[in-house]
Structure 1
Amino acid sequence: MSKVSVLVVDDATFIRDLVKKGLRDHFPGVQIEEAVNGRKAQQLLGRQPVDLILCDWEMPEMSGLELLTWCREQDSLKTTPFIMVTSRGDKENVVQAIQAGVSDYIGKPFSNEQLVTKVKKALSRAGKLQALAASAPPKMLSSGAFANDSLAALTGGKAEVVK
């Protein structure tokens, strides 16, 4: 069983942590790599493949747009879903990212729901959503939502009400 791996690229630690938590809460079993800028991401991508890239636009050393352009020039990364996570939501920037080959866009600030929806859409298009669902623990409900985790933690997974 292959793990689904996601690369989170952002120079802001709290944004990386927020994205990682959102991914882990909704996709248990996901493997998360992180990089503080495009240059570090480039080095990591040269060593190992990933299934999805979530990347900030404005970063020191190498911007998200420069990383995206580089990724689209690499045979191994040409089709890897690349989601730009940025506060640059004006039309000009969106057009620039689309022309560079971005898969999707998440505007900051974003909700966990927006993040999860975009990630599901990107992984589904790439044919990786099934692999992610298969690597999740079997505590998922049929709707794809999770059982009440705090309740499950307190009751050891047995959520019967004691009378």
Structure 2
Amino acid sequence: MGKVSVLVVDDAPFIRDLVKKGLRDHFPGLQIEEAVNGRKAQQFLARQAVDLILCDWEMPEMSGIELLTWCREQDSLKTTPFIMVTSRGDKDNVVQAIQAGVSDFIGKPFSNDQLVSKVKKALSRAGKLEALAAQAPQRSLVGSLPNDSLAALTGGKAEVV
């Protein structure tokens, strides 16, 4: 099985960088792709599948809602989680995005915790969170097991005498 991958679509480089950093810090095994607008994302998605799309609403050439509509028309992308990252949180826009098939929203400005929470939820629903955990770099468990016999005898403070 390949790596779990996310496509970050936003015309603002600082937002893409913010999202990428937040994802890398929390999901070390995640493969992150990026596109500067919906048209570039469409070209990328026509060549390569991803497990999650994080997309801005307002972009030049092709908006996030247009990309979402296109994705839902593609057999290969019908069920791909699509999270709209937007400052357009009013009721009309939310209804429009839900009708187009959006999976979730992240309002701008957003915190790293909000981003991580929404991504976890989307990947979990898609059955990809376990795969991502499995491909994360494994940390050594040696010396970190609180109930090994040395830790039990020394209260967790093993000292060499």
Which TM class, normalised by the smaller chain length? 0.7 to 0.9
Deviation at 1:139, TM superposition (A): 2.9
Residues 1-42 of structure 1 deviation map (CA, whole Å, 9 limit, x = unaligned): 420000000000000000000000000010000000000000
Work out whether residues 10 and 36 of structure 1, in 8 Å CA contact, stay in contact via their aligned partners in 2. Answer: yes
Distance 1:43 1:117, change over 3 A: same
Cα RMSD of the aligned pairs, angstroms, is 1.5
Corresponding letter in the other structure for 1:58? E
Distance 1:140 1:71, change over 3 A: farther
Q: Which residue does 1:103 correspond to in 2?
A: 103
Structure 2 stretches lacking a partner, 5+ long? 142-157
Work out whether residues 65 and 97 of structure 1, in 8 Å CA contact, stay in contact via their aligned partners in 2. Answer: yes
Normalising by structure 1, report the TM-score: 0.85
Deviation at 1:129, TM superposition (A): 0.3
Question: Whole-Å Cα distance in 2 between the matches of residues 32 and 59 of structure 1?
Answer: 20
Q: Which residue does 1:12 correspond to in 2?
A: 12
Question: Whole-Å Cα distance in 1 between the matches of residues 22 and 140 of structure 2?
Answer: 16
SS state at 2:93 partner: helix
Q: Which residue does 1:73 correspond to in 2?
A: 73
SS state at 1:130 partner: helix
SS state at 1:76 partner: coil
Question: Whole-Å Cα distance in 2 between the matches of residues 117 and 139 of structure 1?
Answer: 23
Deviation at 1:47, TM superposition (A): 0.5
Corresponding letter in the other structure for 1:81? P
Q: Which residue does 1:61 correspond to in 2?
A: 61
Corresponding letter in the other structure for 1:66? E
Larger Rg, first or second structure (1 or 2): 2
Q: What percentage of aligned pairs have identical amino acids?
A: 88
SS state at 2:23 partner: helix
Work out whether residues 2 and 131 of structure 1, in 8 Å CA contact, stay in contact via their aligned partners in 2. Answer: no
Residues 47-82 of structure 1 deviation map (CA, whole Å, 9 limit, x = unaligned): 000000000000000000000000000000000000
Deviation at 1:137, TM superposition (A): 1.1
Question: Whole-Å Cα distance in 2 between the matches of residues 59 and 38 of structure 1?
Answer: 7
Question: Whole-Å Cα distance in 2 between the matches of residues 63 and 33 of structure 1?
Answer: 18
Work out whether residues 26 and 116 of structure 1, in 8 Å CA contact, stay in contact via their aligned partners in 2. Answer: yes
Q: Which residue does 1:50 correspond to in 2?
A: 50
Work out whether residues 68 and 100 of structure 1, in 8 Å CA contact, stay in contact via their aligned partners in 2. Answer: yes
Deviation at 1:140, TM superposition (A): 9.2
Segments ≥4 residues shifted beyond 3 Å: none
Structure 1 stretches lacking a partner, 5+ long? 142-159
SS state at 1:139 partner: coil
